[in-house]
């Protein structure tokens, strides 16, 4: 299964929880002592005084992803029905008499459980796009379980699933080649077409499962891969249709507008890249080195992805995101130069740092003149906050303040991006409207 796993590495797939678990392992597995460099005693913080976060709760970003398109209720219904139909093929619960191998039986049972969880997540999703993502995962999980069971129950072979998947990839290429960049508002068009471009490319670039020694699990992997690809393609077609239907009758193409805006924004990105601060070289990284180093690498690494974007709309959105990061980096560098960034010495200071990050991200949406565009720039920052929360929830006992450095850096970077995003969005809108 592409994104979900229990445990995370069992089938080469990774849940959101699994990703965060790996991210937090290096922090929590660090030095347990309270003595600093040179034998000096570090200040400590009691974990019980940190923000009260449920360690068993699967966290969601404070700024969920969205797309400015109304998703029809019958599209949600079709996805839900697909999940329930697949799950109905399974005997419930799977027992030793159904699948004798306990490990394989657990894999199929976990997948079915994850599919049901995905249905529930979709019902409670904060945006339509998040609901679609939950339903896509649910479809993939349900197909994994159903395909695996069908090997035992119906002697299902892998060949028809492989053919199904490859046809879906071929269809995605055809949709991409025929895609028309219709629109009236270039900002809204950029956001919708970028989502379409990236989702189609995800299908086209999806990897076929590696050969499994166990034939049942190999077929199950292929079932998941085929279902995930088809679910993504279904959603692309629906978003494209809904967007086109919402446009006025005289709406034309915005492809040239998007292309020229992408070229202009990309030129700005390259210019900003040339002025990046040097990588911190201190032997021991404190908060200033950590925030500058982390955000510098993210902004710098993203430049190549802008140039190789999946289309003009993706190039616009990616360039806008990188420009936001560059500006946030400038803001943080100024704070470092002014001596304003330092390691919190108390639980109260940690709580304030976390609260500031949440406030900055929420305020960015509320204050922006282009909230949908600003939201697109906040995605990585929102997940930084999720990762930091995950880490905070798992600390126990007395903690040396330096062990919180990664967590504090994540909140600090998110704050800078939130405070920067509205201004960069305004500039990007001006660029789009001028083309």
Per-residue pLDDT, averaged over 33-54, amounts to 74
**1 in Cβ contact with 207 (< 8 Å):** no
What pLDDT is attached to residue 306?
67
What's the whole-number mean pLDDT along residues 178-189? 97
Decide if pLDDT at 251 tops 70. Answer: yes
- CA angle centred on 192, ends 186 and 195, rounded to 5°: 135
Report how far Cα 34 is from the mean position of its chain's Cα atoms: 35
pLDDT value at residue 305? 61
Burial of 48 (0-12, 13-18, 19+ CB in 10 A): exposed
pLDDT bracket for residue 37 (50, 70, 90): very low
Mean pLDDT of 104-127: 96
pLDDT, average across residues 140-157: 95
- Answer whether residue 35 shows pLDDT above 50: no
Helices (H), 368-435: 371-377, 379-393, 405-434
pLDDT digits (tens, 9 = 90+) for 326-382: 999 999 999 999 999 999 999 999 999 999 999 999 999 999 999 999 999 999 999
Q: What is the pLDDT of residue 31?
A: 38
Residue 299 CA from chain centroid, whole number: 17
Higher pLDDT, 273 or 227: 227
Residue 32 pLDDT > 50, yes or no? no
pLDDT of residue 273: 87
Contacts of 217 (CB under 8 A, 6+ apart): 11, 104, 107, 148
Would the pLDDT of 8 be above 70?
no
pLDDT given at position 277: 72
Q: Looking at the predicted structure, is the pLDDT value of residue 281 above 70?
A: yes
Confidence of residue 24 (pLDDT cuts 50, 70, 90): very low
Higher pLDDT, 300 or 355: 355
Q: Is the pLDDT of residue 295 over 60?
A: yes
Helix, coil or strand: residue 182: strand
pLDDT above 60 (res 9): no
For 17, residues 6+ apart whose C-beta sits below 8 A from its C-beta are 8, 58
Mean pLDDT of 108-133: 96
Please provide the average confidence, as pLDDT, over all residues in the chain. Answer: 89
CB 258 within 8 A of CB 433: no
Check residues 18 and 178 and name the one with the higher pLDDT.
178
Checking if the pLDDT of 29 tops 80, the result is no
Is the per-residue pLDDT at 290 higher than 70?
Answer: yes
The predicted pLDDT at position 57 comes to 77
Most confident of 276-280, 303-307, 414-418: 414-418
Contact 137, 3 (CB under 8 A): yes
- Nearest CA to 409 among 302, 250, 303, 285? 285
Pairing of strands 44-46, 182-183: unpaired
Instruction: Let me know: does 420 contact 328? Beta carbons within 8 Å.
Output: yes
pLDDT (0 to 100) of residue 30? 36
Least confident of 304-313, 352-361, 394-403: 304-313
From the list 349, 286, 395, 342, the residue with the least C-alpha distance to 46 is: 395
Q: What is the SS3 assignment for 366?
A: helix
Q: What is the mean pLDDT of residues 416-428?
A: 98
Q: State yes or no: pLDDT of 291 exceeds 90.
A: yes
Average pLDDT on 186-193 reads 98
Alpha-carbon Rg for the chain, nearest whole angstrom, is 24
Average pLDDT over residues 383-390: 95
Inform me whether the pLDDT recorded for 55 exceeds 90: no
Check whether 14 has a pLDDT greater than 60.
no
């Amino acid at each position: 299964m592409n994104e979900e796993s229990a445990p995370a590495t069992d089938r080469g797939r990774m849940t959101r929880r699994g990703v965060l678990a790996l991210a937090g392992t290096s922090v929590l597995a660090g030095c347990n002592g309270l003595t600093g460099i040179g034998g000096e005693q570090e200040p400590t913080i009691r974990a019980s005084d940190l923000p009260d976060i449920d360690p068993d709760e699967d966290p969601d970003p404070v700024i969920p992803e969205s797309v400015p398109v109304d998703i029809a209720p019958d599209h949600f219904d079709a996805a839900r029905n697909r999940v329930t139909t697949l799950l109905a093929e399974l005997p419930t619960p799977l027992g030793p008499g159904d699948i004798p191998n306990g490990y394989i039986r657990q894999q199929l049972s976990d997948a079915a459980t994850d599919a049901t969880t995905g249905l529930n997540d979709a019902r409670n999703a904060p945006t339509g796009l998040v609901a679609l993502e939950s339903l896509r995962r649910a479809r993939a999980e349900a197909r994994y379980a159903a395909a695996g069971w069908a090997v035992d129950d119906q002697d299902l072979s892998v060949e028809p699933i492989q053919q199904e998947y490859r046809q879906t990839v071929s269809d995605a290429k055809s949709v991409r080649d025929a895609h028309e960049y219709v629109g009236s508002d270039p900002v809204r068009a950029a956001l919708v077409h970028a989502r379409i471009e990236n989702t189609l490319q995800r299908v086209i670039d999806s990897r076929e499962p590696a050969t499994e020694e166990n034939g049942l699990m190999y077929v199950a992997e292929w079932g998941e891969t085929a279902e995930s690809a088809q679910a993504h393609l279904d959603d692309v077609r629906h978003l494209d249709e809904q967007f086109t239907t919402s446009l006025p009758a005289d709406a034309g193409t915005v492809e040239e507008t998007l292309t020229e805006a992408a070229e202009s924004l990309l030129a700005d990105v390259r210019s900003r890249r040339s002025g990046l601060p040097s990588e911190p070289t201190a032997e021991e990284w404190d908060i200033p080195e950590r925030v500058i180093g982390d955000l510098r690498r993210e902004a710098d690494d993203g430049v190549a992805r802008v140039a190789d974007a999946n289309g003009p709309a993706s190039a616009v959105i990616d360039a806008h995101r990188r420009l936001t990061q560059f500006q946030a980096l400038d803001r943080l560098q100024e704070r470092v130069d002014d001596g304003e960034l330092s390691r919190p010495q108390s639980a109260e200071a940690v709580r304030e740092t976390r609260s500031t990050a949440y406030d900055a991200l929420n305020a960015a949406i509320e204050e922006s003149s282009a909230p949908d565009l600003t939201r697109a720039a906040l995605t990585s920052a929102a997940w930084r906050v999720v990762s930091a929360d995950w880490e905070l929830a798992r600390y126990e006992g007395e903690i040396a303040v330096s062990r919180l450095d990664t967590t504090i850096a994540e909140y600090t970077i998110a704050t800078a991006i939130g405070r920067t995003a509205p201004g960069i969005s305004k500039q990007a809108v001006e660029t789009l409207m001028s083309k």
